[in-house]
Structure 1
Amino acid sequence: MAYPIKSFFYLIIITAFIVSCSNSGKQYFTDEVSDFKILFPGKPTTSERTIVFPFGSFSGKKFSMETTTGLNTSYSVTCIELPANIVHSDSMNLLSQLFAITQADYLQQFGEGGLINTWVKSVNKYPGREYVWADIRNNKGYTRRVFYVEDKLYLLEIGYNTSNQHNVEINEFLDSFQLLSKEINPNPEPEPSIPVKKFVIDFPGATETRRMVIQGTTGPTYIVTEMYKPNSGRRFDEFGNFAYGVNYIDFQKEEILKMPEDLQRNFIYENAVNSPMIQNGGRIISNLESTINGNWCIETKALILNGQIEFTAKSFFKNKYLYQVLVLSAVTKGDNPTSKEFMESFRLK
């Protein structure tokens, strides 16, 4: 399972702001059996929660509370014991799949567009992820952190109204999570670097940026998407386009740097075109060799989202970065002049 890759094609606009607050009235809640403590704003209740994995269903204790006062609406921590050695921190693909499975409920409830961001996190250098979800219809947001610590899986969650989605109490709660007895993990997950924007392009308007975690060959890797979506009140702008964007990934630690040119081009096709299309149920119409900013690229046309959107993209590798310049359009409208002008305006700094 690699659904963060699916989120290449979705954008939810986030307006950042910070609300100051104090942590008065909060106390550490400790559960010695589950081996953790965390700063709850009150006394949580205890219940049972079950998660279904490909290797079986496992239950654990859930500590939770809801509140109608303050900036957030709900807090919870779940601890589930898994079979020993089901995943090692050096088994990167298995670890990534394990984290993704824990998000299956919200993926089904809110859809792929509900996932706003993912981040790499850790506790005592044990591997973890942070997932930010939005329930747009109900003005709700949820931030989750998942940690895998030897034979335990910890799932932290805080809920809030989207108007409070950047309040400081979110990280205050999540960052207060501590293990009671575990030493520092001697085999931590590699720390990925966040790609730096090294290009200019003529977007039609103000853009938004999202970061997601995908699984690279040497560990977790960030993909950054900068995208403009017309705010015309209609699905498509007057040119027939739905969105304009650039995806970019820093592969400076990957084996791709050692590949000969023909293998690099095959890597680009598989990772920027073929695999995402298969995972999204897309259908490739054509792949052609082309150029962008004087660089060789693969120019792709495809249908995505059950054939409702035409996907046009140029994908290439340059200076340790994999780039994908894309336009999403109405079906049969992908060749419009505005789409071509947007792609031709791409320049590396």
Structure 2
Amino acid sequence: MATLKFLSIFIIYFAIVLGFVNSQGVEVGFYKKTCPNVEKIVKKAVVDYVSIAPTLAAPLLRMHFHDCFVRGCDGSVLLNSTKSNQAEKDAIANLSLRGFQVIDAAKSALEKQCPGVVSCADILALVARDAVSLINGPTWQVPLGRRDGRVSILSEATTNLPTPFDNFTTLKTRFGSLGLSVKDLVVLSGGHTLGVSHCFSFGSRMYNFTGKGDMDPNMDQKYIAQLKTKCKPNDVTTTVEMDPGSFKTFDTDYYTLVSKRRGLFVSDATLLTDKQTKAYVLAQLSSSGSTFFEDFGVSMVNMGKIGVLTEKSGEIRKKCAFIN
């Protein structure tokens, strides 16, 4: 009898806990009743801008990534600084982000149709998906229901964001601390198939890798010679394509570059130093057998659940650059 009573209590407790966990999460179709056209409205804003300027896709994708790695996916990367506080947007790693006007356009349109309903954090997650899809990349269902954070601190972005100089141990720790797996790490690194980078992000690999005026032995020496024709020592203005020849198109070429030791960053090269990530890199070389597109959608969903604010936490901003 006592055993049955205990079992009943356990089942009730488990049901309550499970319900609490589910209610705290995000879900596909969250705005089905409150703003049923949310995805159409956001996609129109993305199409309006990215179809004219395809290079916006990369920074829009990075914006969502950089948002989620600092305080979770709460739209804090969108906030402007105040007189008393410098925001994440002003961190060095975020100065190259562009496309805030896309977020603002989507938010403005949504406020006209569904005022006070859709968060900037959710808009950012949808924009990242639609930007990738628009340049021949994959699409995926985006769970929604995030609310916007009220805090954005420059120093937290400086501390928490992965850097181009991170080795595998550091990357694994950074991703793991947020609940992301090693597979998520290597898959999300594939986002480097898009966009450009400033020379200073990898300059030390060409000119002063160990502080002795040497080159990184883990980088193809012929490729270094090519890069030196574009990037001079201490160059802080020049940019180069991360995926030469297809930096405006979402494809698997990034993994081909990494396999040939032609990834720009230490964080790219380090994918060949771990058995699991190296195996993934090599498995993506055949486009006909690649799982990258499907995997990328899964990992983006995983990333999009980091530290989300839901229910009564946070707020729904009226304008994405300012707290209410």
Give the alignment's TM-score, normalised by structure 2.
0.23
Question: When you count helix as a share of all residues, which structure comes out higher?
Answer: 2
Question: When you count strand as a share of all residues, which structure comes out higher?
Answer: 1
Q: Which is bigger in relative contact order (C-alpha 8 A, separation at least 6)?
A: 2
Give the alignment's TM-score, normalised by structure 1.
0.22
